[in-house]
Chains A and B, each alone.
Chain A
Amino acid sequence: MFCLLAETSFHNLQELRHNASLANKVFIQRDYSEGTTCKFQTKFPSELESRIERTLFEDTVKTLNNYYTEAEKIGGQSYLEGCLACATAYLIFLCMETRYEKVLKKIAKYIQEQNEKIYAPRGLLITDPIERGMRVIEISIYEDRGSSGCSSGSSSVSSSTAR
């Protein structure tokens, strides 16, 4: 059980790292049923059953999937960008970002926000899929040091200060 301080959610994340240690990692794999477009499975992993509500998890994954669909959408805007880039010999990307990169930044912000508000208070941490080559969403499960039976002396010190 984590000591949730009355401060900002950012502090929750600090607390998480301060007091917790990594217990397990869950990997949400890609869903290829619609082809090679980036989409993650929304199946709720059993390891998270006791940690987070199913709906919250599914919401996160579905929102991420929507972001990726938006990034990879082929339509008017992407054609325009492609043609403009070709016409300028791709030099235009020296001064402007591709749409994909813009969406990736939005995703990074979203993940950070989700971590702070929802996952860190539950002792979980989502790693941005781009850091894992878009293969998986890695969710790290942390456990409070005091509650897990570790043999190291330093950890018990940390858990006592946390309380």
Chain B
Amino acid sequence: MHLGVSESMRECEYSQISTRSSTPMETPFKKKIPKKRKWESFPGRNKFYCDGRIMMAKQTGVFYLTLVLILVTCGLFFTFDCPFLAEHLTPVIPVVGGVLFVFVLGTLLRTSFSDPGVLPRATPDEAADLERQIDVANGSTGYRPPPRTKEVVINGQTVKLKYCFTCKIFRPPRASHCSLCDNCVERFDHHCPWVGNCVGRRNYRFFYMFILSLSFLTIFIFAFVITHIILRSSHRGGFLNALKDSPASVLEVVVCFFSVWSIVGLSGFHTYLISSNQTTNEDIKGSWSSKRGKDNYNPYSHGNIVTNCCAALCGPLPPSLIDRRGFVYLDTPQLAPPTNGITVYGSTQSQQSHMAAATPLLQQQSSEPVIITASPENGGALPSRTSLGLGGPCTSLPLGQPTPATSTASLSCQESTDMLPVHAHAHSHNHSRPLQDQVAHHHFLTPEDLPSPPGMLPCNTPLGHSHTVQAGFYNPASQDSLHEDSVRGLVKLSSV
């Protein structure tokens, strides 16, 4: 029974590996649990809409302002100025204006809603491996070592790669950690509040096309509103009369006047950046400035302006690395450092044997503190930042819980303390924090709170037993919980 389950769990794992964009796992029990998508347990400070299709930063107020400004100004232009201009000049004007407007809106939405190139955080195994390497290199000391850096030589230039303490990775060159979104972003340009998102590798071209087309649009509107006023005043004999006839034009002129300076300036700046293949970040820091040294040059530049522009705007668009709409399910069993509570697992293992992945050798635990889930059938309710969740054989336990929220005695596995997400789920606890610890304890100590799911007969007693067992070693052997979880097939410490 144990083996059969392990095989099916691995089968799920196998099918995950076999294709990148695999459909949700073909498990016989998939219909019974509400599947969670990975965006729901995303560790960064992003907001997701449309079931993970749209991704934005946390603060989106300024984005709505941008949208309102564009819509109102263009609306007024089309309503009040275009009829006159179409009649007295040419109908091409509103058509061109319309095309520009649609283009601006399209690129704005594309910039705001897409993934800028967020790097998923390291899995606990990766993080542990890196830590080990760094310790070996530094020699372990009692205090926290200085910021870790790695030097690489790229096309003749020495570049320092910094270690990101939040994401637990060495940032690739040109990547940077956005403190607003709490993500590392590839080829990080800047965080744009007007667009409500970071600008990085995947949406830089849309951002550039947005500001370029917006500068054309503002100049266009500005020019033709002025033309409209002038024509009208010559028709109506008087500048003030013309303004009285078309009061909206005043507003448009004001908005466009102030926009032109900033937008056109920004477009020019980004044109320069693209042609020299630099990011805003690098330019501001003067990373490749000749002032730093005679031999300082940009190792990423392709040499000539045309190639740089083409590469930035027409190069291949890499896919999103964070797989927002993928389903959260079981992953490979975790490696974990040796634990001191091995004997305790014996009893729980036999009980959970029909549910869990067979990893009897998983006596080691990861360096990340982890919380045990008390109710393994709570497949849909494991949010954790590293997209932990149930899948495969664990879904065999029918879900009795009506809601996955705090009412259940389930806790989710999650990574270390410093990665506690801002949007922590209600039932995602970090047991290293005393307050939540108590909550967790409370959950553990009241196993009777768990609604007894129908058909969960073989599990009822083991669950009850496992609760007490877990409660027993919850505090001191907290690190063993990872093993516990993996044994029960509950841990999926994936890259998300």
Contacts and interface: CB of A to CB of B under 8 A. Distances in A.
B182 to A, nearest CB: 16
A42 interface: no
Contacts of B13: 17
B20 A83 contact: no
Contact of A152 (B130, B299, B349): B349
Interface string A102-145: 00110111011001000000000101101111111010100101
B155 A127 contact: no
A22 B316 contact: no
A90 B113 CA distance: 14
A133 B495 contact: yes
B187 interface: yes
Contact of A21 (B209, B346, B362): B362
A152 B360 contact: yes
B119 interface: yes
Contacts of B187: 36
B333 interface: yes
A103 B16 CA distance: 18
Taking residues whose C-beta sits less than 8 angstroms from the other chain, chain B's interface range is 35 or more
Interface string B445-456: 000000000000
A151 interface: yes
Interface string B269-294: 00000000000000000000000000
A131 B299 CA distance: 29
B17 A127 contact: yes
Contact of B358 (A27, A32, A74, A155): A155
B317 A98 contact: yes
Interface stretch (B120-128, B225-233, B244-252, B405-413): B120-128
A24 B20 contact: no
B110 interface: yes
Given A131-B494, A131-B495, A17 B7 contact: yes
Given A73-B316, A98-B317, A131-B494, A30 B172 contact: yes
A65 to B, nearest CB: 15
A13 B11 CA distance: 10
Contacts of B299: 35
Interface string B115-157: 0000110110110011000000000000000000000111100
B314 A79 contact: yes
Contacts of A107: 20
A55 B12 CA distance: 31
Interface string A81-115: 11101100110000000111100110111011001
B349 A100 contact: no
B20 A154 contact: no
A27 B154 contact: no
Q: Which of A17, A85, A100, A112 has the most CB of B within 10 A?
A: A17
Interface string B1-39: 011001100110110111111000000000000000000
Contacts of B313: 82, 86
A72 B316 contact: yes
Given A22-B332, A22-B359, A132-B126, A154 B353 contact: yes
Contacts of A83: 314
Contacts of B19: 105, 108-109, 112
Interface of A: 13-14, 17-18, 21-25, 27, 30, 32-36, 71-74, 78-79, 81-83, 85-86, 89-90, 98-101, 104-105, 107-109, 111-112, 115, 125, 127-128, 130-136, 138, 140, 143, 145, 148, 150-155, 157-158, 161
Given A89-B103, A152-B345, A155-B361, 8 more contacts: A22-B333, A22-B334, A22-B361, A36-B300, A83-B314, A86-B313, A138-B125, A161-B3
11 contacts: A17-B11, A18-B6, A27-B130, A30-B172, A33-B152, A36-B186, A82-B313, A105-B19, A107-B20, A128-B20, A153-B350
- A-B pairs, 7 with minimum CB distance: A82-B314, A17-B10, A152-B360, A21-B361, A155-B360, A133-B120, A108-B20
